[in-house]
Amino acid sequence: MSNEVVFYGNKALRVKSTPVECVNDDVKAFVKELISTMHENKGLGLAAEQVGRSEAVCVIEIPTDYDIEKGAEPNPVSPGIGEPLILINPEIISTIGEQSGSEGCLSFPGIYATVKRAESVIVKYTSLENKTIELQASGLLARAVQHELDHLNGVLLVDHMSQVQKIGVAGKLRRLRKENRSK
Ligand SMILES: [Zn+2]
């Protein structure tokens, strides 16, 4: 089972998530749906808001050969994690350094923006097994964590764009907003 991804303009993307109180069967079923929706759409990550929900849950999966396939990255980033990372009630507790790179988002099809992020982060979250975990991530994984946590706070790719970047994709943004604002 999977859900439809919602696009920029849809109000659901601006909703701040609500913490999950207990990792019960409903939450586990929802995580499964999120993972299959991420796979179907070939995304590197997906947050609850992107399927119109508001639980503080996101999933990330970076294929182990992602960087090799891309080949164009100037710096090799952290190796892929190869299996879905499931973050429940995640929060970033510390950040180190800075990286700048191109970012896309399933809710902004065909739009990419150069976004500045921390080079590494420590993220604290609850696992599917209801354990509290602190994970240090760097490179692409750190970027994905920061991107998905933004979604849980109602923050979107467009919010990171400079005025110049926005002008470059203004037509695409306008079209998305128009098509999705009533949803
Ligand atoms: Zn996104």
Is residue 29 within a helix (H) or strand (E), and if so which, with residue range?
helix 25-40
> 25 C-alpha vs ligand 1 centroid, how far in Å?
26
- 148 among known catalytic residues: yes
The residues whose Cβ lies within 5 A of ligand 1, an ion, are 105
Is residue 165 within 8 Å of 114, Cβ to Cβ? yes
| Confidence band for 110, pLDDT divided at 50, 70 and 90 | very high
Summarize the confidence of residues 137-163 as an average pLDDT.
95
Give per-residue pLDDT as tens, 50-103. 999 999 999 999 877 665 444 444 444 444 566 899 999 999 999 999 999 999
* Residue with token string 């796979």: 39
* Residue with token string 């970033």: 92
Rounded-to-integer distance, Cα 149 and Cα 174, Å: 25
> 148 C-alpha vs ligand 1 centroid, how far in Å?
6
Instruction: Determine the straight-line distance between the first and last CA of the chain, rounded to whole angstroms.
Output: 22
Is residue 86 within 8 Å of 128, Cβ to Cβ? yes
> Whole-prediction pTM value?
0.90
Runs of H (alpha helix) within the chain: 25-40, 66-70, 139-152, 163-168, 170-180
Nearest to 93 by CA among 118, 60, 127, 66: 118
CATH 3.90.45.10 fits 11-180, yes or no: yes
> 67 C-alpha vs ligand 1 centroid, how far in Å?
19
